[in-house]
Structure 1
Amino acid sequence: MLKVLLIGITLLVLCAGVPAVAAEMGGDQGWYRVHCNIDGADVYFDGTYVGTTYNGMLDVPVYTTGTPYSTVRVERSGYQTYSGKLPGEPVKGDIADVYVTLQPVEIVGSIHATSNPSGAAIYLNGNYRGVAPLTIKDLAPGTYTLEADRSGYYSDRTTVTVKAGKQSDAQFSLTPIQQYGSVSITSNPSGAFVYMDGAYKGRTPLTLSSVSAKNHNIELDLNGYYDWKTTVSVTSGVTRYVNAQMAAVPPATTGAIDVVSSPAGANVYLDGNLQGQTISGGVFTVSNVGVGTHTVKVSLGGYQDYTTSVDVRGATTSYVSAALQPAPVGATGSIVVDSSPSGAEIYIDNAYKGITPLTVDGVAAGTHAVRVALAGYSDWSTSIQVGAGSTASASASLSATPTPTAAKAGMAPFAVVGALAVLGFAAALRKRD
């Protein structure tokens, strides 16, 4: 009896190592032969377990008269599961091959470490691994301590969890270790205003402490002197000395006058000379005005002239605000006439008024014809609107008349000679009589 039992156990062991075959070849059966690169992989048809691969394959019988299978799935621990379509069902007594390659599942991960600024030394669980940016590979799944260290910056530390087949990221933003020095600033002359990196710090002589160790922009300002600038490099624990020799600004000989009128569009005169017109919503600026006292007149048709004295200082701008008042009804105005060249005759409404340059007063409000004439030049004429109580201006640029041609000029002497000959002949005749 024991002998029979041992034979039975032996047969069971032998059968366990033989590919699964539901029946012998032939009959109403065909076979799928699953080829696999891994032994011990479980095979499923349409989700139903049909056997385990052995010696690189597994034969699965199917009945040609039964419901055909369509999908295959192959699994083994430590490998990625394979899923796919089965080829067409084998015919009676035939074999259809199915080829499956299982890929191993990654069992390690990695950490990618970066730092700002870059170049920080990276330590993994206290062990130096390189300089950021850095990828640390082949790490078993788990939690690790990561530290970044760079000269001049505070160290930073974090924990990172690594998963199989995954890359974890660690980003370090390092904070600089602040270091300080001092800056001692003097100037000639003293009392200059001191600005560091655009911020006011005081007046010279001045010592600044707790200045961060880096480059700083220093600027000194003093009225009557050119601005003085430099860059100073501050080192931790060291005092830097700055001595500014200020250069005096030469006194300015001209200034400017900004003129605003209400309403706009008025003529602006400086010491009787027309400069331009104020614009709507803007300012007319008279530039390069000599230092001293000047007369400014603002004139606009229909309004009374506005006249004031202005003191101009070098390199400064003076201001004039003219609120023009309406001219009285029936009042007269004036016309200022000049010409280039000067010395021309002035006619207003064909009435002679004088020689340019000239201011014609007592002109009735309204439109008037102005003509300027000068021997050797073409007449110049225009129409001008004169407002009551205001001054209008006319500036004539005269054009020289063409000179006679050489041919015409040459005829005059011959004409004179001919005339003299005729007169002489007539006189001779009278004597004979």
Structure 2
Amino acid sequence: MNPLQCERCGRDLESDDAISIIEGVCCACRRTAAQQQLRTGARLVPPAPPTAAPPQPRLVPRQVDLPSPVIQAPRPPVTPAAPTVRPKPAAQVLAEEPLYGQAPRSRRRRRDLAIGVTLGLIVVGAMTGYMVTQRLEPIQLALPGQKAEAMPVRLIVKPAWATVTLDDAPIAASSEEGILTFALPPDQGEMHWLAVDAEGYHSVRRPITRQAGVSDMTIELVQKPIDLVVHSEPPEAEVWIDNQYKGNTPLTLTMLPWEQSTLSLKREGYEPVSKKITPPERGRILKLDIEMEPAGVLVRVETDPPGALVTVDGQVRGPTPVDVAMPPEYLGRDVEITATMPGYEQATLRTSLPERIGAAPVVARMALARPRSELVIRTDPPGAEVLVEGASIGASPATARFGPEQIGRRVTVEGRIAGTHGGRLEVLAPPAGEKSEVTIPLEAVGQVAVFVVLSPTGTGPDHVLLTDRVIEQIHGLDGRQRFCLVSCTVDGIEAWPGRGEAAEATSGNKIRAYDLVRSIRPSARGPAAKALSEALALKPGVVWLFTGGKLREGELSALGAGGGPVVNVCQVGPRAAEPWLERWVAARSGVLAVIEGGPRRVIAREDEGVE
């Protein structure tokens, strides 16, 4: 049991009440017991000491003459009746029971109190003896009518550079060790305030008076926790303190001033950095700006727009902008960088890395384009020239690509074969990122085609080239068309199958036309204007004009200024055509083909030799 707690209620005893300490009963319990006794009318009778039992009279046997014994049967044993227990009055119970506990406990408490008082006196005596041995000078108080003197005080502060003020008046340090000497004003009993402040330390404010008699003081300030602010270049480096991960830079930590720790920075592709952390003597913020050196080659990837996922040589490196540290084995090599982003086409870039460590970072900038749609255009028959919105994209099958501004719009696609066949469709550009196909059915440009041959004189290589081109065009006629052959020969204007007539483009008629073309014996020039008039008499849909040498613009006046049939010109001559002829053919929606003349090796017919 705790001797400083009440035996009845368990509460702590009053330290300033000796009766409570001695008897072990708090004031509240004593007051409650007294009130109960007053209500019942019982007296506070201390327990009586046990009394000795009265002496019993001594029994002395006497000699008695007894008659002859009469033998009787033994009586059965009589069981005594149980005593009747009557309850005692409350006043008697209170008088018989002890009120404040047993006497032995009171004696123990008195003993403990005596021991405590004795120890206190010993401590006071020891302190008095110490002060006497130190020969402290007593405080000299000024007597009435006597003039008081200033009291010198010697103060040592730690840290030495702390600021000391007395009653808000600064006191300058007298030495680098932080020793100050000042004097208290000669006033009696007035309290002065001594304050010590230092950046990064808890301040101390202490009262001082002359009556205290303290002339030598030491005040040591307690340093506050410090804030450790860590920045790195590049950022997002792992911060480890004493081999414990704390986070990624930039990072702010709180440390105790007496901690001596080791800071380590780690980042993929960079050399690790390790250094000791020393708390600052002044202030409570320690800033560290650490620049990390790349372990290999640093590649910075930027995209427009940012946020694209970057892959370098097949390894995912993260979203842009991103710094990729390449190992030393990549020095002097080429790497392939790809960037992908939903809603954009994949961008690919191949770049070369420097050959030494420490070189300037390689910056790769990539622009992502919105996805294009593709339209594969075919023609029937195949091989026709394909045009999209009037611009040629090659022979079919050809692929047309549409940018974001054309997606969903209606575009015109055309197909044509050398002025003989043509077709046109209007289609919608496919959605972004999709690919579709379309086939353009071609039809004959005109139901009647007229071939006009104005070949040079003789049967030289230019004439052979020209007649071969005539046969090629006749061969490409559709079976639904009709055609006519007009030529200028030494005998004049010849027409097949006859003047004002056109033959169907059957296989037999085509073979007859081949033989006729090979048998042409052209004139020097021939009446070109008359031959063209003969061709127009059939009201053709397309006119093919095959000529050797230069043409004069006046010779073509018979074809009109435009609005008539489609006119295609095939000329044997210099590689570059005359500008006026190009404009004239384009105005009639025709095709101009120039065949370079001169000696060359050709395969001759059976009845001719090889030139």
TM-score by length of 2: 0.21
User: Which of the pair has the greater relative contact order for Cα pairs under 8 Å at 6+ separation?
Assistant: 1
Higher helix proportion: 2
More strand by share: 1
TM-score normalised by structure 1 residue count = 0.28
